[in-house]
Amino acid sequence: MKKQLIEQGKTALGIEFGSTRIKAVLIGFDNHTVLASGSFDWENKLEKGYWTYSLEAVWAGVQTAYAELAKAVKEQYDVELTTTGALGFSAMMHGYLPFDKDGNQLAAFRTWRNTSTEQAAMLLTEKFNFNIPQRWSIAHLYQALLNEETHVKDIAHLTTLAGYVHWKLTGEKVMGVGEASGMFPIDSQTGTYHAEMVDQFNELVPFEWNLETILPTVLSAGEAAGTLTEAGALLLDPTGTLQAGIPIAPPEGDAGTGMVATNSVAERTGNVSAGTSDFAMVVLEKELEKVHMEIDMVTT
């Protein structure tokens, strides 16, 4: 039965970029049974004052995790893994990955661990009347602007780790709403970036670009987010065995994946995560009435 699921492509492949491990897990569509898995251990490095992972490490890691999974499928079921029914990525949220109009990386990946954005976070929190934590992408962007970093004027695309991997495998600059809410505040009524706050931030930008042009398009769970391209298939599986055309879910962050894994998605439910950092996730019934610096708002 499991072999047939794999042969018929009735499976889903999920890949998670955690802080210490990249994990690839293949499950069946029938009852979500885990069929095979693979992993790759990695660690961030402190370089020039920033905690970072190189993009070379991103691809070496995901290729190793996928190769382990494909090897397990072959050994356990005597099947070559050529396709899956669905594919999706999640990763550590927040951070800063800027690119220019030609797709060149403008600055090293600044992860959620960096606490160099206190000035920007405080100024934006006051301006928006909305808590902006230091690790959020918009805090990193504004701090780079305040620091007069020369690369900021050339930004054409700003994304997160999950958004970057999705972009390279599909060509689509999109993001799930949960992951996007760790970049910039989301309007719960529209399901996309908060328009008034976007306008407020654009007033601070002395360059030709604005947030609407550089941030990924926000998608909700279940919306089409692209398919695996031929180039993307080779990035994931350099052997060429994996075929293009697999539909891919909007890339998400670890907050949303933790909620789904614990079935804590309804109002007045919650969960606690004890990982690289410890935090509680609680689903609210309505928006907070005032700013609470101890509470980080994300959207699902």
CATH code of the domain in which 250 resides: 3.30.420.40
pLDDT interval class at 154 (50, 70, 90): very high
Contact 53, 109 (CB under 8 A): yes
Q: What percent of the chain has pLDDT over 90?
A: 80
**pTM assigned to the model:** 0.93
pLDDT interval class at 276 (50, 70, 90): low
Does some domain include residue 288? Answer: no
For the record, the structure tokens of 205 come out as 């930008």
Does some domain include residue 221? Answer: yes
pLDDT interval class at 283 (50, 70, 90): confident
Higher pLDDT, 185 or 257: 185
Does some domain include residue 52? Answer: yes
Q: Name the average pLDDT for the chain.
A: 93
Contact 40, 21 (CB under 8 A): yes
Does some domain include residue 157? Answer: yes
**What would the mean pLDDT of 7-28 be, rounded to a whole number?**
96
**What would the mean pLDDT of 141-147 be, rounded to a whole number?**
98
**What would the mean pLDDT of 128-138 be, rounded to a whole number?**
95
Does some domain include residue 298? Answer: no
Does some domain include residue 287? Answer: no
Q: Which residues constitute the domain of residue 24? A: 2-282
| Residue 13 bridge partners (DSSP) | 26, 87
How many domains would you assign to the chain? 1
pLDDT digits (tens, 9 = 90+) for 85-127: 999 999 988 999 999 999 999 999 999 999 999 999 999 999 9
| Residue 270 bridge partners (DSSP) | 282
pLDDT of residue 294: 73
Does some domain include residue 274? Answer: yes
Residue 23 reports pLDDT greater than 90: yes
* Amino acid type, 51: W
Contact 15, 23 (CB under 8 A): yes
Does some domain include residue 209? Answer: yes
Q: Which residue in 295, 292, 268, 266 sits closest to 279, CA to CA?
A: 295
Taking 3-state DSSP, the helix, strand and coil percentages for the chain, each rounded to the nearest 5, stand at 30, 25, 45
